[in-house]
Amino acid sequence: MHLEEVSSCPICRGSSFKELHQSADHTVTHKLFHVKQCRSCGLAVTSPRPTQANASSYYQSDNYISHTNQSRGLFDSIYLIIRKFTMRWKLSLIKKNALPGPLLDFGCGTGQFLAHTAAQGITCFGVEPSASARKQINSSIPTFESLHSLPDIKFSVITLWHVLEHVYTLRETIEDLRSKLQEGGTIFIAVPNMQSPDANHYGSFWAAWDLPRHLWHFSKPNMTQLLEDSGFKVSAIIPMKLDAYYVSLLSEKYQRGGQLGLIAMLKAVKCALQSNAAAASTTNHSSLIFVAKK
């Protein structure tokens, strides 16, 4: 297993980190990984982490649902139901917060959001590094392995739905995405929020740590700092309330060694309800969408 230390914070360039906790990889290896926190801006990082050349091996599992459209159990079914509902909701957010024009979905997975968006008459492009995921995307939608292989066009909208936490070159990617936007264009970035009430409740068992696939663990302040330092203006922060339910269910499962009975499911639902209620006045929900303008 090839691992590397993170020595510099990509947001504030700080080099001083404190140990936050250890959490297991519940999807592939079941080994422990460390989460450390920048003492300056509060960004948490997975360190040591897999090298980028070795990262793909941590996604090679039937349990990694975002790279498949197949349901293999309760959690897959819940995920696919939520995904179907949120696709419509995400598109409505885009129409409310952005000008019409071509859309790029960065980290598009198996292309479900792209297919839904293209069906509404919107010109769409996708970027997805996973070859196996790209094979499942509708062939009529132009999809590329990386940003650098895209045609030389500017987009009105760029979306990242729970993708940024997986990206090795964090600041460079944000700046590259900004260069692909039209003037006045809008970027939508959904990330887990490590300061949410459900994260505090489950601690190291919080499913959205998802180590070691999640390299960065954000909060509202440092995510805002990253965008503003990269030349964006944050125009809205929107909660993803359904995420609290899915994440709490998975967290209960992890906390109980892979078992999830009725009582545990009820506890998860209760935690999600309480998390959303507690976050209502602060917009500090389990996952957040950052809407920012160029």
Q: In which order are the strands placed within the sheet that holds 216-217?
A: 17-24, 32-38, 44-46, 216-217
What residues does 127 pair with on adjacent strands?
106, 144
Distance (Å, whole) CA 71 – CA 79 = 9
Which residues, 6 or more positions from 31, have their beta carbon under 8 angstroms from its beta carbon?
1, 24, 25
pLDDT in tens, 169-204: 999 999 999 999 999 999 999 999 999 999 999 999
| CATH code where residue 26 lies | 3.40.50.150
Domain range for 278: 3-293
Which residues, 6 or more positions from 75, have their beta carbon under 8 angstroms from its beta carbon?
65, 246, 249, 250, 253
User: Collapsing DSSP states into helix, strand and coil, what is residue 135?
Assistant: coil
Phi and psi, residue 132, nearest 5°: -70, -35
Do 40 and 14 touch, CB atoms closer than 8 A? yes
What's the pLDDT score for residue 71? 47
Share above pLDDT 70 across residues of the chain, in percent, rounded to a whole number: 93
Domain count, the chain: 1
pTM value? 0.93
Share above pLDDT 90 across residues of the chain, in percent, rounded to a whole number: 83
pLDDT in tens, 49-65: 999 999 989 988 665 54
pLDDT in tens, 203-237: 999 999 999 999 999 999 999 999 999 999 999 99
